[in-house]
Amino acid sequence: MSFKNLIGQNELRSLLLRALEKNRLSHAVLLSGPSGSGKKAWGRALAMSILCLETSGGEPCMACPSCRSFINGNHTNYFSIAPDGRNIKIEQIRSIRQGFYLQGGKKVCLIDGAETMTAEASSSLLKILEDPPAGVHFVLLAEQLRLLFDTIISRCQRYTLKPLSFSEATGLLLEHKNISAEKAALLARLSGGLPGCAFRLADDGQFEERCEEAKTLAYNLATGCDSARQLLSWALYLSEKKDLVSFLELLCMQYRDGLVQSLGREGATAWFSNAGSAALEDAIMLINKVIYEMNTTNVNRRLLMEKTLILLQRRLSTCRKSSESGLNRPARPTTLNPV
């Protein structure tokens, strides 16, 4: 994978190519960005370019013996480490360390999930970074910089991956997945411009079904047509979903569409054309808070869903009143309520 095959990240691309071309790349590079932003693809392109014997303008040639070994996955001077379970352990750093001192030109060590290194692993890596073996480059990939040792960060040349633009993400999906332009646009928006996330959604065989469910629930909450008992049944049903976070993102998108429409912008369709934007903003913030809570704590999902749905229905009551008084009362989605 060369840089020219990677989409977007124009600033990162020109910075890396310039550093490679002018031989100004540090022996330790840190690529940070959210999950699904493409860190690994960029890290591998960088590793390939460092190892390439015939680079041109910083780009790997894809044809020299080094590039061919890299593409075949058997380059003896390329080492990669990823978390073993939840962490990268000191044994993993030790196991590759001896390879750095062997003869044979440049070497690259890619550390994926660098922020998961244990304190011992971090200290061991830090010692290597402080006195790096000749010709050895490190490429660290991390989502959460705050979990990395400051002393490690300070020894790295830092680059950040940004989400792709809407048109870049749509183009990427259309190029790699056999889906309609309409679906590509929807997935591009849902993924927030993160290619890994967009591909995951495109490969999800139950995506359409989940979309319809999210629409139904969004409609029910906004119109208040479910009784308290029905909301509790929804909560139980949702709490048993494996992909609850991704479902909540779909639910959130329904209200985001409604908000965009209520603010008079183009490009969105929703049932909330007369909705109060404050109520919709409230709903979006609440769902995002719940997603964060689910991602960071071991919360009781059923209780959390019960509380969330009741709160959402209450907060959206402003939206409901507004919607009922308007002329464009929405049609109810056809999907059956699972309750």
Residues lying near Zn ion in the complex (CB under 5 A) are found at 52, 54, 60-61, 64, 67
Residue 236 carries which side chain, given as an amino acid letter?
Answer: L
Q: How far is the CB of 76 from Zn ion (least distance, A)?
A: 15
Question: How far apart are alpha carbons 129 and 132 in whole angstroms?
Answer: 5
Unique residue bearing structure tokens 């999210």:
214
Q: How far is the CB of 46 from Zn ion (least distance, A)?
A: 13
Say if strands 107-112 and 78-81 run parallel, antiparallel, or are unpaired.
parallel
Q: State the CB neighbour count (10 A cutoff) for residue 197.
A: 21
Closer residue to Zn ion (CB): 68 or 94 = 68
Closer residue to Zn ion (CB): 20 or 169 = 20
Q: How far is the CB of 294 from Zn ion (least distance, A)?
A: 44
Both tokens of 229, joined, read 């008992």
Residue 100 carries which side chain, given as an amino acid letter?
Answer: F
Cα dist. 217→6, 161, 207, 316 in Å? 38, 34, 15, 12
Closer residue to Zn ion (CB): 71 or 179 = 71
Per DSSP, the three-state class of 29 is strand
Unique residue bearing structure tokens 């690259």:
108
Q: How far is the CB of 52 from Zn ion (least distance, A)?
A: 3
Closest CA to 338 of 240, 203, 205: 240
Closer residue to Zn ion (CB): 1 or 64 = 64
Radius of gyration of the chain (CA): 24
Q: How far is the CB of 51 from Zn ion (least distance, A)?
A: 8
Q: How far is the CB of 182 from Zn ion (least distance, A)?
A: 40
Instruction: Name 120's Cβ contacts closer than 8 Å, sequence gap at least 6.
Output: 89, 90
Closer residue to Zn ion (CB): 59 or 282 = 59
Q: How far is the CB of 68 from Zn ion (least distance, A)?
A: 8
Closer residue to Zn ion (CB): 61 or 268 = 61
Question: How far apart are alpha carbons 206 and 192 in whole angstroms?
Answer: 20
Q: How does 288-316 read in b/e, with b if 16+ C-beta sit within 10 Å?
A: eebbeebeeeeeebeebbbebbeebbebb
Q: How far is the CB of 59 from Zn ion (least distance, A)?
A: 9
Closer residue to Zn ion (CB): 2 or 317 = 2
Closer residue to Zn ion (CB): 66 or 313 = 66
Burial of 230 (0-12, 13-18, 19+ CB in 10 A): middle
Closer residue to Zn ion (CB): 52 or 221 = 52
Q: How far is the CB of 61 from Zn ion (least distance, A)?
A: 4
Residue 89 carries which side chain, given as an amino acid letter?
Answer: K
